[in-house]
Amino acid sequence: MRLLQASSLLLAVYGASASLIERQSSGSFEDGQPIDGEGKGAPLSGGTNHELDLQNPDNLGRQSTDNGVVPNVKWSFSDSKTRILRGGWVREQVVTDLPTSKEIASAQQHLTKGSIRELHWHRVAEWGYVYAGSITVSGVDENGQFQVTKLEEGDIWYFPKGIAHTVQGLDDENEFLLIFDDGDFDAVGTTFNVDDWITHTPKSILAKNFGLPESVFGSVPSPNPYITNGTVDNHTVTGGGGELTGNASFAYYSKDHPLEEVPGGGGSLRIVDSRTFPIATTIAATVVTLQPGALRELHWHPNAEEWLYFHKGQGRATVFLGSAAARTFDFRAGDTGVFPDNSGHYIENTSNTDDLVWIEIYKSDRVEDISLTQWLALTPAGIVADTLKIPVDVAETLQKEKQILIKNR
């Protein structure tokens, strides 16, 4: 009898152990399960968004080097509320969406042919990047100087705070990224639309100001349409203080600026800051293409937080906040991110076949970064060896030039 009871107990223990082993081996990070294959973790049994789990394996605990509390630094435009209008749409990412993005707000905007982002100005600077179609941008400064110009894919514009401007679509479909140098972009007193102002000003004052009959202003739209249908305008603007050109131009034409030579052999980049686009004194940018498996080397930025928009591909990055706090995030096309001021990080292309393309934005007049490898290489080798507990001869072989984009190896 005792032998039978012992056998039953052993079978029960074995069954429970087998069930545990089966449960722990029934998935992995790549399957969207928090299981490391080495005895840690278990399957998700409660409610979860499996598609998001598959897209974000590092949120499931894949990186054993992650540690401490690091706030979320990622937001997808697909999670933003899209405002659809006659002639296009817009969707934003502001500080209420991504609280860690204090210095930068952003939007994707789409205009059909002839459609207009109505005349307006902002309390903050506006920076734009065309990634589909072509547009006309028009701006007027405090001296009555103006610019009306066509921008195509890869071109950029910058309007300093307070500059009156508008944008019109030229191709059948046109789309661009908008950047503003204040994370709280939706705050009242940030954007000023011309028709809002006119409809909330007494008509007698309008008549006196413009020297026109009051009846002229009877059909100004209210509330403002934000985006409105229109016809492509071919009028030529003359007079005033003349056209803005050269260093005063609001426009950056990518065809006039060859790609930078990049050490490391892992891709290409274009730096767009006040050294190459003089009027852009508060927003600096880098447009990066990283080859499959390649790495944007470990570095940090001494002058600003880094905001990112991922345009194509997929990748990952670990953000190091100091005090042993680090967290890894997975990114893909349509995601935005922000690396806090002076935080250490890298970006890796996790695809074996496709390039990773993103845009880096800084609230600064220029792009600055400090390479971890270069710093160590230009520090006395003995100090580096003693600090990291590595052989001195290894410390002496570290690269003394920035590698920036390191090809897969």
Catalytic positions are 360
Residue identified by tokens 């661009």 is 176
Burial class from Cβ neighbours inside 10 Å (0-12, 13-18, 19+) for residue 279 reads buried
Determine the Cα–Cα distance for residues 331 and 74; give it in Å rounded to an integer: 8
Closest CA to 130 of 152, 147, 109, 108: 152
DSSP string, 303-364: SS-EEEEEEESEEEEEEEEETTEEEEEEEETTEEEEEPTT-EEEEEE--SSS-EEEEEEESS
Cis peptide bond prior to 223, omega within 30° of 0: yes
Other beta carbons within 10 Å of 205: 10
Determine the Cα–Cα distance for residues 197 and 191; give it in Å rounded to an integer: 11
Burial class from Cβ neighbours inside 10 Å (0-12, 13-18, 19+) for residue 145 reads middle
Other beta carbons within 10 Å of 253: 15
Do the beta carbons of residue 325 and residue 375 sit within 8 Å? Answer: no
Residue 54 in tokens = 């598959």
Do the beta carbons of residue 354 and residue 313 sit within 8 Å? Answer: yes
Other beta carbons within 10 Å of 82: 13
